[in-house]
Structure 1
Amino acid sequence: MNIRRRNNVNLTGRADGPVVVLAHGFGCDQNMWRLVVPALAENYRVVLFDYVGSGKADPSAWDERRYSSLEGYARDVLEICEELDLRDVTLGGHSVSAMVGVLAAAKAPQRISRLVMVAPSPCYIDDEGYRGGFSAEDIDELLESLESNYLGWSAAMAPVIMSNADRPELGQELTTSFCATDPDMARVFARTTFLSDSRQDLKTVTVPTLILECRQDVIAPPEVGTYVRDTIPGSRLVTLEATGHCPQLSAPQATAQAINDFLGATG
């Protein structure tokens, strides 16, 4: 199978620069990174792609069994790295893709040497001594609503996830992105995302790691960023002056600056 076509892989930036691979979150595609790419492309080779089941990836490659676990998405990332023969990669993952990055780095440390985690959450469900932001009942209701009326759920939830009520165009963009995703594939990705628990996987991270959080995020509250920082030795937590779960759209300059600063500091 042609991996580049399967995952709609696109490359931009300096051909001879260090490589940054950007991975999108649930209900999104590579277009969500477009506002931070120019600032990164000045010094880095930027690789963009869509997971199978999202964006312009080849839908014929969809395998429900594969994409019912985060390991399936990590395989997409690693197969792209293998296809392009990428090494010493910085993997930037938004939301659930931050945890996909953790898995990918553990499986292929020879390829992935840094992680940038944008609005990460290793577990969305509250547990003893851990605040994920949702009760188990909350997640059950969210998934039931999504599965019974995906388009209606998208229209209602996307503006809440994005926040920034004073900029409704951002919520509309996320709504459009959600609605463009095949509902059956989205249901699988949603279950994989919201029912995952990657807290133990965080302990496997040995590469330099940047964690970016927003000061207000209904999906990943501040306690989550602190937990991730405290669990990954030597990681750096930066709180952006931004609201919502998608700072690459709501605060692209601050997001790009934080990533550039981290990459410059870690070589």
Structure 2
Amino acid sequence: MELPPSLVNKYNLKVEGNLAAKQTLVFAHGFGTDQTSWRFVKKAFSADYRLVLYDNVGGGKSDPNAFSPIRYQELNAYASDLLEIVNVLELNGAVLIAHSVSSMIGVLAAIRNPSAFSKLILVGASPRYLDDQDYIGGFSTEDLDVLFKSMTANYYAWASGFSSMAMRNYEKPELGQEFGSTLSALQPNIALSVAKVIFQSDCRSALPKLKNDVLIIQMKNDVAVPEAVGRYLHAHIEHSKLLEIDVEGHFPQLSAPDLLSVAIESFLNEQH
């Protein structure tokens, strides 16, 4: 089908892989990256699946004029964007493979339209980054104050330091540099606005409403998402499976793509 130019322009929307395949995989990226972060993983699925890739508004090669801090002051706005793509492509029973914040965006979208996705694969997901009573999110209010002040004071210096810390894999500095480069490509005011929405969000109450089959992939040493968060998600999402992988950092699609691809393929082939 012919993709509407308006959506191609707005989301840098791409449909590729095996266009005749019955099953569609939708890849959704996290904060500070774009769809190119999936380039190693998608190779494993391009022969057997139709692949949908897009950039979240405010990031990547999405239309910079589409971003509004008023519209995008909650994650549900991004869920509406994902559902717009779902509706235009007439997706039914697709599999969403989402990284970081796009995991919760996908959860919100699937709750609103359960038939859109047969399965969700959530990589490095967190329903809340802030610690709370009886909940470990990984960040205190003071941590976030420091984060936002650093972003405001010198965004590019912050991006350089944060990217290396989030990627870890210090023996492969090019990975941190890649994240640093996509992070630095964001407009600093947009990046700060989006970061505040992400780090101050709380999607915990949505989790029990999700009825799709879910694979939660939790990294062992993730500076943004402690292991306790993966276990929390598993405990609160009814049809979920938790896979803890021995990977450093927040970006296994870049640092361990083969391992991640095997995990995804195994879940795709599971009968539920």
Which residue pairs with 2:111 in the alignment? 106
Which residue pairs with 1:89 in the alignment? 94
Which residue pairs with 1:7 in the alignment? 11
1:154–1:266 CA distance, 2 compared to 1 (3 A): farther
Q: Secondary structure of 1:110's partner?
A: helix
Q: CA deviation at 1:148?
A: 2.4
Which residue pairs with 2:48 in the alignment? 43
Q: Secondary structure of 2:40's partner?
A: coil
Which residue pairs with 2:218 in the alignment? 213
2:259 maps to 1:254: yes
Q: What letter matches 2:162 in structure 1? A: M
Contact 1:4 1:80 in 2 (8 A): no
CA deviation string 1:155-214 (max 9, x = no partner): 111000000111111100010010011111111110111110111111111000001111
Contact 1:208 1:266 in 2 (8 A): no
Q: CA deviation at 1:140?
A: 1.6
Q: Which runs of 5+ in 1 are unaligned?
A: none
Which residue pairs with 1:163 in the alignment? 168
Q: CA deviation at 1:266?
A: 3.7
Distance 2:224 2:242 in 1: 17
Contact 1:146 1:153 in 2 (8 A): yes
Distance 2:46 2:216 in 1: 21
2:77 maps to 1:72: yes
Distance 1:140 1:71 in 2: 24
Q: What letter matches 1:11 in structure 2? A: V
Distance 2:242 2:50 in 1: 24
Q: CA deviation at 1:33?
A: 0.6
Q: CA deviation at 1:154?
A: 0.2
Distance 1:89 1:65 in 2: 30
Contact 1:105 1:113 in 2 (8 A): no
Q: Secondary structure of 2:148's partner?
A: helix
Distance 1:83 1:183 in 2: 31
Distance 1:68 1:144 in 2: 19
Q: What letter matches 1:31 in structure 2? A: T
Which residue pairs with 2:191 in the alignment? 186
TM-align CA RMSD: 1.2
* Runs ≥4 residues deviating over 4 A: none
Q: What TM-score do you get using the length of structure 1 for normalisation? A: 0.97
Distance 2:8 2:111 in 1: 23
Structure-to-structure mapping, 1:109-188, within 5 angstroms: 109-188=114-193
Q: Percent identity?
A: 41
Which residue pairs with 1:22 in the alignment? 27
Contact 1:99 1:122 in 2 (8 A): yes
